[in-house]
Structure 1
Amino acid sequence: MIMNILYKIVPASLHAHLFHVSITINKPDKNGQCLYLAAWIPGSYLIREFSRNIVEIRAESAGKPVMLNKCDKHTWQAASVKGPLEIHYSVYAWDLSVRGAYLDQSRGFFNGTSVFLAVSGQESNPCYVDIVAPEGKAYKQWKIATTLTKDDAKVGQFGRYQAANYDELIDHPVEMGEFSQISFKACGTPHDIVIAGRHNADLKRLKKDLKKICEYQIKLFGEPAPFDRYLFMTMALGDGYGGLEHRSSTALMCNRDDLPLAHETQIKAGYRQFLGLCSHEYFHSWNVKRIKPAAYAPYDLSQENYTRLLWAFEGITSYYDDLTLLRTGLISQQDYLDLLAQTITGVERGNGRTKQTLEDSSLDTWVKFYRQDENSPNSLVSYYTKGALVALCLDLLIRQQSAGQKSLDDVMRALWLRYGQDFSSAGLGVAEADWERLASEVTGLDLQSFFDLALRSTQELPLQTLLAEFGVEWQMRAAVGASDKGGWLDKVLPPSNSLGIRSSSDGSFVKLSHVLDGGAAQAAGLSAGDLLIAINGLRVTSGNLEAQLASQPINGELDVLAFRRDELMRFNVRLQHSAENTCGLKLKALDAEKSMTRDAWLLG
């Protein structure tokens, strides 16, 4: 069998962090073959210029050099040849994230968008890839984890794999090294969990908990699962967090202390967060990998792809990730309300929600959300967090106005049947107006005014009113210290003094990372990046800042010394009360009928 496009990737120089990649193109363009590398990776909406990591590249045919001209930042043009064309290049892999490529003597990892040049004009052709083991006795125990379809390779082993086309090739990341692995079946579909890095995780418990999450979401959309097998590939670190979805796998990073230990019986906060991350990325198997915005059907990986729908694809996914934990019995109802309160708090604490609509947040993701700076809390709103709150409001509104006959679950299933189930063959994406139209069609409700308010205005969402209808008590209070992210307090303390800042430690100084609109610091002229030295003649540190502020009289004035760059500056600051922007939620006692309505929402 002739393989028209054959890739080979070798972890060739582990200490220098270099993958060597070659491509054999048996039928190159007779006018000269063009090749290009992706500029971004689906699921992470920022131009990342992966081509910058190609450190050397050359072409040859029949053993003789072929001229290779670089056309732009990520495109190359080979001269015309009569026979097969070979491209050889090295990729620097030192990105310890879920988005790029990484290689050292302990592990290797890559996404196809970082290492595989596309053969222009032949993207729809089958692709084969030889994944080669590193040389040396130290690496004899290395194996790989991927959901690429094996060709002559054995499962988990180095060898040849295949993909139906280039789009499929780059949607199956590869982990290589020595790692822990455990397997289970969810609704009859094989699933694997792989954990690289040092850890002491209770894999049996992790398997049991992930099985519940997977089976719930498969049944939510309808069996069978949309893949033949699924892989959770996780890198455990001393400090790390992140995830990126793929069509039959997800790449994850977590703090190793967040993983469950054998002696632990409760779900600690870190493990709850990790399960929520797994739930989020798994839900994307339906909502974004197969139910896609029309702007992503297909992706154009050479430039930004704009859509106003990220609230629906990331926000709704963020709504269901924690709700899945509740509906599978992994967390309690109060745990869920605490997580919801933290989301509300996060949105309330950003003045950007009064300036940027949710649709604009989606459009601006390429220049704002993934490029956040010191002014971001004042200028943007997250389509993840506010999108999750819009999903909550939409779900409760549908349940309320349909007398419990319909819900957001019905909308998601309808989206799956119309757009997602046959996406691999039909390739039909959701147009921006179609999402809202389908929601009204499925529920039989006029939702136009809600969508106008929630998506195209900066007005407050009707959260408190809707939650009250479902027996959830609302509390909005001032934060109790910098670590207070939200949650119900039985005794609400009076507001404390506030500078209106976010800060971090910088050696022995307090560094202002953000200065919030309307706060005392901004009014006095303090700015992000300033280093606080003293307040009223006393040295200030991260450890005593809150105590120093608390010791001052209400609306008191402060003499603040700070460095800006290398200049010492003095500021007169008049303190303000901390804002009441911290949310708490708890269940109210209800009669039997209303309690059933609430349970239908929370428990599914």
Structure 2
Amino acid sequence: MPRTRLTAACLVLLTAAAAPAMAQTSTPVVVDARDAALALPRAQPAIPAPQDRPYPGVIQYRADITDLDRRIIRVRQTIPVAGPGPLTLLYPKYLPGNHAATGPIQLLSGVTVTANGQRLEWLRDTLDPYAFHLDIPAGVTEIEVQFQQLTQPDSSNWRVLMTQDMVNLQWEKAILYPAGYYSRQIQVAPSIVLPAGWKYGTALTTEARDGDVAAFETTDLYTLIDSPIFAGAHYRRIDIDPVGDRVHLNLLADEEKGLAATDDQLKLYENMVLQADRLFGARHFDNYEFLFALTDQMGGIGLEHHRSSENTGKPEFFTDWSKSAGDRGLLPHEYAHSWNGKFMRPADELTANHNVPTQNTLLWVYEGQTEYWGDVLAARAGLHSKEVALATLANVAAFYDNQPGRQWRALQDTNNHNLLGYRVPGQFPSWMRGTGDYYRESLLIWLDADTLIRAETDGRKSLDDFAKAFFGHDDCSWTPQGYTFDQVAAALNAVHPHDWADFLRERLDAVGPDARAPLAGLERGGWRLTYTDKPSDAEKAVSTGWANDFQYSLGFTLSGDKIANVRWGGPAFEQGIGAGWSLTAVNGKAGSAEALRDAVTAAKDGSPLELLIKSGDRFRTVAFDYRDGLRYPRLERIQGTPDRLSDILAPRRR
């Protein structure tokens, strides 16, 4: 190894610094960000904060969705500019209904900007990769921006948006817009190029269609992003409005036969619209478009918008109606969001544009009460039979009654945590808790509130009165309004005086070994949670995976031969079983869900319950001392008590 030569000056410095200086040679040097910017190809300007002022001119936007084989959406935008100087373009980061920074900037490619036929170079922001900085030359009045959205062939990372038979165009994932302005102050004239012969559904108003090019009326960026398109080769649009032609079901399918909804089925969706009218007492849209794709090829979705919603179901959703019972609550949920989450929404989610961070402190209202009303509307409309509605509620109650995660984590934190990642799965969900909790556990809180109001007013008032007062004012207005925790509590007090702030905070902030699921509403509603070893047909329809579900017996589920969803503290967990194990044998015979069900049942009479499990090249034999048999959740009527729950689920006559 060559020796390092030290100059006399270096030797003098080292001698003077002595040991302490030598010890500091590995300490990182902190460079001021302003100094670091000097090393960039050119100075990086600040991203302008949004201001409530009109953007000069109208952005011309065209999306070409015809490249189905390569699954590429090609975009061209013509953006007017006010004059020379810096301009920052933003890619949407905080997407509506996602409550997190989920804009798939990774799928944006080929960004090219030109002006007067000359290419303009852009600089991506070094701190915020969703921002692109430009320097507009003198004499330029508009720029042309072209890029591609590279949609995915499978849903392993992002949803599939393009198939051979349908496309889900979500504007927020395929657009750049100028920074420094509120979204509602930026005007856009959108258009799309469709595959030959395709039709589409959207809340946007079509201005003209020339062959396979559709142009829409100029609108603001906020409304555009809130108005996605479902387009496809197999399409049907149906009026389901019982009092006019303002609510429509836009069906798309992988094959034409998937569109065959019967008149009786469609009548149930008409009932849903009627029951929503009676619940809220007002409408906050001109037209509402359900976009409903029946597919096993495009990625699944249920996403709310103010005047539409994006939804998917199984290809046989209508044609094999009995098997769709557990999925019929999706459209009522998304429809209820038009009132709760869109017209009225948490004030901390009313952001100036789609790159201002959202806050999620009230998701237990935004999503939780919507989950409640979605299930209630499904039952009142007849989309859910009473048996299916009870089975759905039993599943929710059982999950949270057996969830140990609240020992360390309050429900409120699942709202705040959502910004870390949108519904990111993890191991031991019963311990980690998840973003689904602000939907389903919050549903139980709202049932608790509803039954309390009914009990203390002898049935004269209910949460329906809150819904009409809080969400149903200003009929025909669809300008979003924000709400706060104090306003929610005050509105509940206006219906029935109670310490609602304390009521809500007790349930939202409950944490520790004594914290329990909020099940009081069930018993006040006249029902209690029990378990059965033989689920009914309705319970099987709701829990389609019931045959592989051992959550409330051994404490896990089976996915094929894989052991999954191990319940923290349950029998399997106590045997040292976690992620990565698979079931090989049950009592010395080939393992399967059926064999395991039989063995768990036989163990009630003292028979052995021994599993051979495998992880990698390691095998283990595990013996369970479990004698309680199979356990599936069920609601049981408490005789001699008022049946308030049945009243909640019954259709409203006016």
- Of 67, 90, 95, 2:121 maps to 67
CA shift in 2, pair 1:483/1:413, >3 Å: closer
Report the equivalent of 1:501: 556
Structure-2 change in CA distance of 1:353 and 1:519 (3 Å): same
Partner amino acid, structure 2, of 1:319:
Y
Tell me: CA distance 1:583–1:563, structure 2 relative to 1, closer, same or farther (3 Å): closer
- Counterpart pick for 2:564 among 502, 509, 513: 513
* Deviation digits for residues 499-548 of structure 1 (CA, Å, limit 9, x no counterpart): 3222211xxxx211122122222222222111232355443234422234
1:162 to 198, 213, 217: 217
Identity, in percent, stands at: 21
Pair 1:17 & 2:17 matched: no
Query: What aligned pairs does 1:204-603 form with structure 2 within 5 A after superposition?
Result: 204-223=263-282, 225-238=283-296, 242-260=301-319, 268-270=322-324, 272-298=325-351, 301-302=354-355, 304-367=357-420, 370-380=423-433, 382-416=437-471, 424=479, 427-458=480-511, 459-461=515-517, 463=519, 466-470=521-525, 472-477=526-531, 479-480=533-534, 498-505=553-560, 510-535=561-586, 537-552=588-603, 560-564=611-615, 566-577=616-627, 582-587=632-637, 599=647, 602-603=650-651
**For the residues of structure 1 that align with 2:224 and 2:551, how far apart are their CA atoms?**
55
**Ranges in structure 2 where 5+ consecutive residues have no aligned partner:** 1-55, 543-549
Is it true that 1:145 corresponds to 2:145 in the alignment?
no
Query: Aligned residue for 1:90?
Result: 148
C-alpha distance 309-211 of structure 1, shift in aligned 2 (>3 A): same
Contact 1:309 1:362 (8 Å CA) reproduced: yes
Aligned to 2:36: none
Q: Is the 8 A contact 2:601 2:630 kept in 1?
A: no
For residues 1-44 of structure 1, give each alpha carbon's deviation from its aligned partner in whole angstroms, at most 9, with x where no partner exists: x9521111112522111111011112256323211112242212
Counterpart secondary structure, 1:256: coil
Instruction: Say whether the 8 Å CA contact 1:144–1:175 is kept in structure 2.
Output: yes
Deviation at 1:477, TM superposition (A): 2.3
Q: Which of 125, 135, 141 is matched with 1:79 structurally?
A: 135
1:173 Cα deviation from its structure 2 partner: 0.6
Residue pair 1:292, 1:420 contacting (<8 A) in 2 also: no
Q: Give the deviation of 1:119 after TM superposition.
A: 1.9
**1:114 CA drift (Å):** 0.8
8 Å Cα contact 1:351/1:517 also seen in 2: yes
Deviation at 1:421, TM superposition (A): 7.2
Shift of 1:230: 1.4
Query: How far does the alpha carbon of each residue in 1:148-197 deviate from its partner, in whole angstroms, 9 at most, with x for none?
Result: 1333448x974221353211111111122222313223432422222222
> Is this contact kept in 2: 1:497–1:578, CA < 8 A?
no
The one-character-per-residue Cα deviations of 1:202-250 (angstroms, maximum 9, x if unpaired) are 2433432211111221232223x21111111111124875411111111
* Residue of structure 2 equivalent to 1:114: 173
C-alpha displacement of 1:95: 6.8
Q: Deviations over 1:481-514 (max 9, x none)?
A: 89996899xxxxxx99943222211xxxx21112
- Are residues 230 and 110 of structure 1, via their aligned partners in 2, closer, same or farther at CA, if it must alter by over 3 Å? same
Cα displacement (A) at 1:348: 2.6
**Cα pair 1:525 1:571 within 8 Å, conserved:** no
User: Does the 8 Å contact 2:242/2:270 carry over to 1?
Assistant: yes
Letter in 2 for 1:255: K
Aligned to 1:492: none
- Contact 2:329–2:383 (Cα < 8 Å) also in 1: no
- Structure 1 34/186 Cα, relative in aligned 2: closer, same or farther at 3 Å? farther
State the distance in 2 between where 1:38 and 1:232 align: 24
Post-superposition Cα deviations, 1:429-467, rounded to whole Å, max 9, x if no partner, equal 112332223212332223244223322214335635x44
The Cα shift of 1:93 comes to: 2.1
The amino acid that maps onto 2:345 is K
- How far apart, CA to CA, are the structure 1 residues paired with 2:606 and 2:533? 17
Q: Indicate if the aligned counterparts of 1:100 and 1:111 stay in contact, CA closer than 8 A.
A: no
Select the residue among 232, 251, 265 that pairs with 1:177: 232
Q: State whether residues 554 and 577 of structure 1, in contact with CA within 8 Å, keep that contact through their aligned partners in structure 2.
A: yes
User: Does the C-alpha gap of structure 1 residues 360 and 346 become closer, same or farther in structure 2, counting only changes over 3 Å?
Assistant: same
Distance (Å, rounded) in 2 between the aligned partners of 1:599 and 1:517: 36
Task: Between 198-207 and 389-398, report the one with greater CA deviation.
Answer: 198-207
Change (3 A) 1:157 1:434: farther
Indicate how the Cα distance of structure 1 residues 109 and 484 shifts in structure 2: closer, same or farther if over 3 A, else same: closer
**Cα 1:561–1:178, aligned 2, differ >3 Å: closer, same or farther?**
same
The 3 A distance-change label for structure 1 pair 582 and 120 is same
Q: Which residue of 1 aligns with 2:190?
A: 129
For residues 518 and 146 of structure 2, the distance between their equivalents in structure 1, rounded to whole angstroms, comes to 58
- 1:31-70 per-residue CA deviation (whole Å, 9 max, x = no partner) reads 2321111224221234334111112110001111111222
Moved more, 364-373 or 84-93: 364-373
Q: Does residue 193 of structure 1 match 2:254?
A: no
Judged with a 3 Å threshold, the aligned counterparts in structure 2 of structure 1 residues 572 and 12 are, in CA distance, closer, same or farther, namely: closer
Q: For residues 133 and 410 of structure 1, do their structure 2 counterparts lie closer, same or farther at Cα, with a shift above 3 Å needed?
A: same
Mapped contact 1:244–1:252 kept (Cα < 8 A) = yes
How many residue pairs match? The answer is 573
> Would you say the 8 A contact 1:94–1:102 is kept in 2?
yes
Radius of gyration: which is bigger? 2
Q: Is the 8 A contact 2:90 2:176 kept in 1?
A: yes
Which stretch has the larger CA shift, 413-422 or 339-348? 413-422
TM-score, normalising length from structure 1? 0.85
Aligned-residue CA RMSD (Å): 3.5
Q: 2: distance between equivalents of 1:220 and 1:481? A: 32
**1:290·1:420 contact (CA, 8 Å) conserved in 2?**
no
Q: What is aligned with 1:491?
A: none
CA contact (8 A) 2:75 2:148 kept: yes
SS in 1 for 2:397: helix
What's the CA shift for 1:340? 2.0
SS at match of 1:148: coil
SS class of match (2:310): strand
- Contact 1:116–1:170 (CA under 8 A) maintained in structure 2: no
Quick one: distance in 2 between partners of 1:384 and 1:347? 12
| Distance in 2 between residues matched to 1:535 and 1:101, nearest whole Å | 39
1:35 aligns with 2:89: yes
Q: Is the 8 A contact 2:236 2:259 kept in 1?
A: no
In the TM superposition, what is the alpha-carbon distance from 1:601 to its structure 2 partner? 6.7
1: CA distance between counterparts of 2:124 and 2:551? Answer: 60
Q: Which runs of 5+ in 1 are unaligned?
A: 262-266, 489-494
Which amino acid in the other structure matches residue 215 of structure 1? L
